[in-house]
Structure 1
């Protein structure tokens, strides 16, 4: 493990960019930025493409649901893989699968054969890769840092993840405007290959065993870990709530942008980019102040995202909508940073993959929320469906925070 500046004193301040002083983390962060930006570009491009092809809010929601579904079915399995095998190898395999999906969609676009069903299939493959990468990458970070240095590293990684919602959608939609959907995938392919190349430059870690992974055993281990550690159980529950009532609203942003705010694709990219801009601001603040009340920040970030999204549902003005999504982004980075941090510090190193697998299962429950909001949007409109879902979410989060004191600490 890299030397932790505050290993004996949790009160010591950590510089905002301290983790980047590590050559290993610097390369990992660059690889993460390429990977996260490619993912955001891809989602923005494909949701707009499906909206243009189908004019269906439900089928637009299916794009995000297809990406999220593998996390539910494979998250626990991936958690045991991350514990038992080299995290470097798990991440590299995930990156290779992403490249395969990019090549597949690129061929469909160049052959003018892009249809919703093959798009859902390819996005599902990237979702499988994400299930592997999400757990392995965070467990890899926990093997490099500890204490408040780990908080700093997680903050910077989460900042790269969620701020990609600024660079990715803007780049993707700008490429659509200038070069069409096929041209946009040239940029996506470049970033996917760059992320893979940077990943291969990392130091290999050691796997702990050569045993095979039993999916039922993985499920049992993750559930047992969550039951044994109350902090993990609280994080898993609030994560599930966020992914049912909060994150699904992002599937309706392209519909609201085009049909309610009369925004073209580049303005849609900027609108989604508001989330990323807010995430950048929030990540800088988290890395700078390194808050000790992590459960409180985790819960407050969840509520901030929900409240801002609820008001967004009623905003008739583009600039106001952009501002509200900026605020939502600040809440999102608080949620995303504290989520794995609360888990990896609550369990022994040998259980981190399984504990994060339980979190991955909770992340994977978002498809029902995405499908539900897509169906509702077709019946009562995207704005009304966003307002109803987020209002219910605010109430549920308040109850969960009351039920688990760790979420207020």
Structure 2
């Protein structure tokens, strides 16, 4: 980290992520205060998902042709004035400013993430990919703790205006952190060298893993508020403590990820997915809040390691010059999946007990892990029996 160029992305990610969490807490609180409508909050969260459908694939293709560093800096600077626009919201008549600002900021995030991941794949050697992706999970943990919890405290003590100013400053700070980063292309994608990437074999299993994980996490994300506020009646304090447990688990997961070696990344991923699903189902049945917080720590600890493993597998398997296109599509598919499942889970909670809905989310992960593992072993065995060494390599990576 001390001398590797990845450090600039890491520090920029922390500054950017914490600022975004500050703003999100303040915006949703302000929206609820002005409208008194939970539906308005739900609509705002739903709008954050929509840009991923179109912008992430577009950003990925652009990242394979333009300077990734310039795209990241430009995206940060373009978001800055919209982060400040929330300062002009004074009454319910100004709520439209909140919605416009949230859509634009979410659009920036949808554009930013696939470019950032493709940049990691470009500047990090394959032997270091797994450790770097472990650090990415630790980064998410830092953002959860430093952004969600601290953002709630700042908004409560000093008001949302300070949170909005800090968010705008974070975009500028993140852009400055990226300035020393050197953007050297490994390959030039032209008409003479068309991409030959194929969405099958091991990559197909990795994408299926991410979609199952997104469905599971869509339920879990919604249940965080339900557990903290409705089941244990602890309000914002309960939600904040649960986010803190998630952040702590993600930070610690780095120390497990860096020790996973060998050519069995997908096998590790399926096992971790099953364990994460089991943890989510167990969390839904907890009757003690400390035990629930411990279950949340376990879920994010295992989930962080699983996410790092699969991202590493995809980065190692993606040809140079095609990282943006691959991660653009993946970001689009998984985020839309999370949004749809969150909406469906919200409907189910009105008709079924909360614990049953939470248990079903974990069950998705457990069943999905078993099915993927069995299919993976079958495909590998079939390739081996055919005596096709290329076929085996495509499946196992």
Distance of 2:31 and 2:348 partners within structure 1: 18
Instruction: Tell me, yes or no, if the aligned pair for 2:55 and 2:110 is still in contact at 8 Å.
Output: yes
Which among 244, 251, 261 is matched to residue 291 of structure 1?
A: 261
Post-superposition shift, 1:248?
3.8
CA gap 1:64/1:244 in 2 versus in 1, 3 angstroms = farther
Query: TM-score, normalized by length of structure 2?
Result: 0.83
Give CA deviations for 1:264-284 in whole Å, capped at 9, x if unaligned.
424422211211100011112
| 2:386 paired residue number | none
Instruction: Tell me, yes or no, if the aligned pair for 1:246 and 1:393 is still in contact at 8 Å.
Output: no
Post-superposition shift, 1:172?
1.0
Give CA deviations for 1:51-79 in whole Å, capped at 9, x if unaligned.
665463x6544444322332233222222
Alignment of 1:364-375 (within 5 A): 364=335, 365-375=337-347
| 1:38 paired residue number | 19
| 1:4 paired residue number | none
Q: Does 1:103 align with 2:84?
A: yes
Give CA deviations for 1:167-200 in whole Å, capped at 9, x if unaligned.
2111111112212333333333333332222123
Distance of 1:170 and 1:346 partners within structure 2: 37
| 1:215 paired residue number | none
Which among 231, 244, 254 is matched to residue 273 of structure 1?
A: 244
| 2:374 paired residue number | 402
SS at match of 1:246: helix
| 2:391 paired residue number | none
| 2:102 paired residue number | 123
Instruction: Tell me, yes or no, if the aligned pair for 1:343 and 1:352 is still in contact at 8 Å.
Output: no
Instruction: Tell me, yes or no, if the aligned pair for 2:138 and 2:251 is still in contact at 8 Å.
Output: yes
| 1:196 paired residue number | 175
SS at match of 2:233: coil
Instruction: Tell me, yes or no, if the aligned pair for 2:72 and 2:175 is still in contact at 8 Å.
Output: no
Instruction: Tell me, yes or no, if the aligned pair for 2:273 and 2:365 is still in contact at 8 Å.
Output: no
Post-superposition shift, 1:49?
5.0
| 1:357 paired residue number | 328
Alignment of 1:7-156 (within 5 A): 20-48=1-29, 54=36, 56=38, 60-108=41-89, 111-113=90-92, 118-156=97-135
Query: TM-score, normalized by length of structure 1?
Result: 0.81
Distance of 2:112 and 2:184 partners within structure 1: 15
| 1:309 paired residue number | 280
CA gap 1:201/1:94 in 2 versus in 1, 3 angstroms = same
SS at match of 1:350: coil
| 1:182 paired residue number | 161
Instruction: Tell me, yes or no, if the aligned pair for 2:279 and 2:298 is still in contact at 8 Å.
Output: yes
Q: Does 1:392 align with 2:364?
A: yes
CA gap 1:49/1:153 in 2 versus in 1, 3 angstroms = same
CA gap 1:230/1:343 in 2 versus in 1, 3 angstroms = same
Instruction: Tell me, yes or no, if the aligned pair for 2:63 and 2:324 is still in contact at 8 Å.
Output: yes
| 1:376 paired residue number | 348
SS at match of 2:351: helix
The unaligned stretches of length 5 or more in structure 1 are 1-19, 213-220
Larger Rg: 2
CA gap 1:112/1:59 in 2 versus in 1, 3 angstroms = closer
Post-superposition shift, 1:47?
4.7
The unaligned stretches of length 5 or more in structure 2 are 381-394
Post-superposition shift, 1:48?
5.0
SS at match of 1:308: helix
Distance of 1:331 and 1:358 partners within structure 2: 25
Which among 319, 322, 330 is matched to residue 348 of structure 1?
A: 319
Distance of 1:42 and 1:160 partners within structure 2: 18
Distance of 1:309 and 1:268 partners within structure 2: 16
CA gap 1:268/1:186 in 2 versus in 1, 3 angstroms = farther
More displaced stretch, 355-364 vs 166-175: 355-364
Distance of 2:130 and 2:22 partners within structure 1: 27
Instruction: Tell me, yes or no, if the aligned pair for 2:55 and 2:107 is still in contact at 8 Å.
Output: yes
